[in-house]
Amino acid sequence: MSANPKSAADEFDNRVGPPPRRSHAASPQETTEPVRAPEKGEEERPPLTPARKRPYAWDFRAAGEPFVWSMGGALVIGILMIIGFLIFVVYNGILTFYPEPLYVVKLKDNKQIAGEFFRAEVYKLEPEALKGLPENVRKEIADQKGFANRNLYRIGNFDLYNEDFRWTPTHDIVETSTPKDMFFVERVEWGPFIGRITKLDLNGQIIQGSDVNMATLDQAVAQATKRRARIRQIERSEMGEVNHHLEKGRLGLRKVALSRGEESPEYRSAKDEYEAKAEKWRARHEELAREAESIKERDGKYTITLAEVNGQEKQLKLSDIVRLYPANRLTVTEKLHIYLSRWWEFLSQEPREANTEGGVMPAIFGTFCMTALLALAVAPFGVVAALYLREYAKQGRVVSLVRICVNNLAGVPSIVYGIFGLGFFAYLVGGSIDQLFFPERLPSPTFGTGGLLWASLTLALLTVPVVIVATEEALAAVPQSMREGSLACGASKWQTIKHIVLPRAMPGIMTGLILAMARGAQEVAPLMLVGVVKIAPELPIDGIFPYLHLERSFMHLGFHIYDVGFQSRNSEAARPMVYVTTLLLIGMVLALNAASIVVRNRLKKKFLAGHF
């Protein structure tokens, strides 16, 4: 500007038309500069616009304030939605396990129902239903424009009533009470029983309901639980192991038959060996079965007789009881104790009753195994790909194209990955593996169907763009001066990458990796195709060689939510489980994200500390 020798007066002279609008941002000196007296030939100049006369006025549009507000507003709405969702899930999930009081509701028809109060609702009555009602109730309902209130009670006793929940119109209720002798009994089967204890039979020692004290009861239930656990251990683990050995022997024999033919001497000797071993294993099986039988027989002598609120009795084995408590007699400490023990059960036990009761330990375990395998697969793959793209490939059109493709891969619907995983990994790769290594098990597939390995690899494929993009960004952020410094020291490119670039980029890479794990952990759709099941008979890790069973199907928290929420017999009963499982899954993902932040900060401190 100063290069132009034109004087300021010239510039002033040449200005025709209204002077340009001034933004309020102009400094006061500029705006308050005295208006110069017009020089020659200035008559046609229009009068100064008012804009010049209010130098300090607030120009709403120029400040962009509406945009700031709308941007802030959008952010607030977004945050509120997320917080609202979290509060909703946390509130519902946290309260699920807290013991509720048991109400006994006396109805007009002299029947009683007993149960936990679940929720209340306003509903519209059918005209028919109205007809049968007494005058005053009808009037009341008419006042409410045909609406009435009703309560939902969780009444349990599914085996007696064929329903878990019952709606009760409030105008049918005569009286509600909370009697101290009502018990809430969680059973292994049939859901809860709600009622009173009439009799306890401890191997012939009969205690009448009114004399039962809590200490005896708890002790008896604890012992029964031990017996149940022992039976289970025998039937599941020990007999399972025997079966596993039998099956292994049979498959080994079949393998020999396939490779040598059934006439060969090898086959004959293998067969003799197998028979001898199988004999031993069968004997062991017998023995275990006998032991289980004897425990069961003894177990059958410990029973409890319960009566539901209208007096109908039901006898149970004590070992069928998971937990029982007198809901209306509990102190706060006892309630907390039950609350925590339910959480513990939830986290550490296997599911019961088609997943609607019990715990989610196998699902947690499956999610964990799958995520760990996913990380193992995706980390080297993604990092190496990004290293090649950023450090070695000649930057140009091809690399740009690859980069765009990688970014777009992240947007492919995940179910497509599931289909690919099933078709490619399970059927093609897995099928070939079966042909090559497990011919004796065919036609039942080993790797040729969905399983932990294929699910992990499918999700690794799904999340590899996240890792690649994060790693590339981290690599790009390593200052060129550091690479030059290393190269100038005589380091090769690979040494530079290994010693300087990768450590510097590590926080970014780790962040990307953990985000990929979080993404993978919450993915459900592709898993339904490649190995997740409703109930997995075995965990993917156990005590039988090779300990980690990559071919097994597994359970997953995300799928568990879907299954419990939408596939179960009684969605009302399953709802609390859905909340709790959601809470758990969100918690896991949050924990992963928090871990990524911690890792990043710690590595950052190490590698990027105080410049100057």
Partner 1 sequence: MRESGNGETVYHAKQGPEGSLLTIEDFSLWYSGKQALFDVSMQVEKGFVTALIGPSGCGKSTLLRAINRMNDLIAGLRTRGRILLGDTDIYNPSVDVIALRKAMGMVFQKPNPFPMSIAANVIYPLRVDGVRDKSILRETVERALRQAALWDEVKDRLQDNALGLSGGQQQRLCIARAIAADPDVLLMDEPCSALDPVATGKIEDLIDDLRGRYTIIIVTHNMQQAARVSDNTAFMYLGALIECGETSTIFTNPKVKKTMEYVTGRFG
Q: Which residues bind partner 1 (CB under 8 A)?
A: 395, 479, 481-492, 495, 499-500, 503-504, 606-612
Q: What whole-number distance in Å separates Cα of residue 106 and Cα of residue 103?
A: 10
Closest distance to partner 1 from the beta carbon of 604 (Å): 10
3-state secondary structure of 137: helix
- For residues 3 and 332, which CB has a smaller minimum distance to partner 1 in the complex? 3
Running DSSP on this structure, what letter comes out for residue 105? E
244-262 burial, b for 16+ CB within 10 Å, e for fewer? Answer: ebbeebeeebbebbeeeee
- For residues 491 and 525, which CB has a smaller minimum distance to partner 1 in the complex? 491
- For residues 58 and 612, which CB has a smaller minimum distance to partner 1 in the complex? 612
Q: What angle do CA 118, 120, 121 make, to 5 degrees?
A: 135
- For residues 73 and 479, which CB has a smaller minimum distance to partner 1 in the complex? 479
Closest distance to partner 1 from the beta carbon of 392 (Å): 13
Is the Cβ–Cβ distance between 366 and 556 less than 8 Å? yes
3-state secondary structure of 128: helix
Which residues are 175's β-sheet partners?
106
- For residues 176 and 395, which CB has a smaller minimum distance to partner 1 in the complex? 395
What tokens were used for 510? 């780790």
- For residues 179 and 503, which CB has a smaller minimum distance to partner 1 in the complex? 503
- For residues 78 and 479, which CB has a smaller minimum distance to partner 1 in the complex? 479
Residue bearing tokens 């070939």: 432
Strand 102-107 with 112-124, pairing: antiparallel
Closest distance to partner 1 from the beta carbon of 387 (Å): 16
Running DSSP on this structure, what letter comes out for residue 18? S
- DSSP letters of 531-542? TB-SS-SS-SB-
Q: What angle do CA 276, 278, 281 make, to 5 degrees?
A: 115
Closest distance to partner 1 from the beta carbon of 2 (Å): 19
Closest distance to partner 1 from the beta carbon of 595 (Å): 22
- In 3D, which of 36, 54, 56 has the Cα closest to residue 45? 36
Closest distance to partner 1 from the beta carbon of 607 (Å): 4
Handedness of CA 502, 503, 504, 505 (dihedral sign): positive
- For residues 54 and 493, which CB has a smaller minimum distance to partner 1 in the complex? 493
Which residues are 103's β-sheet partners?
115
What tokens were used for 382? 């993604």
Closest distance to partner 1 from the beta carbon of 612 (Å): 5
Closest distance to partner 1 from the beta carbon of 389 (Å): 15
Closest distance to partner 1 from the beta carbon of 399 (Å): 12
Task: Spell out the residues 6+ positions from residue 364 whose beta carbon is closer than 8 angstroms to its own.
Answer: 347, 557, 584, 588
What backbone torsions phi and psi does residue 228 show, to the nearest 5 degrees? Answer: -65, -40
- For residues 219 and 400, which CB has a smaller minimum distance to partner 1 in the complex? 400
How many residues are recorded in the chain? Answer: 612
Name the E strands within 29-141: 102-107, 112-124
- For residues 196 and 483, which CB has a smaller minimum distance to partner 1 in the complex? 483
Closest distance to partner 1 from the beta carbon of 480 (Å): 8
Closest distance to partner 1 from the beta carbon of 384 (Å): 21
Is the Cβ–Cβ distance between 105 and 113 less than 8 Å? yes
- For residues 21 and 493, which CB has a smaller minimum distance to partner 1 in the complex? 493
Residue bearing tokens 């985000």: 515
Q: What whole-number distance in Å separates Cα of residue 6 and Cα of residue 544?
A: 93
Closest distance to partner 1 from the beta carbon of 505 (Å): 11
Burial of 171 (0-12, 13-18, 19+ CB in 10 A): middle
Task: Spell out the residues 6+ positions from residue 555 whose beta carbon is closer than 8 angstroms to its own.
Answer: 360, 362, 363, 365, 366, 532, 533, 534, 535, 536
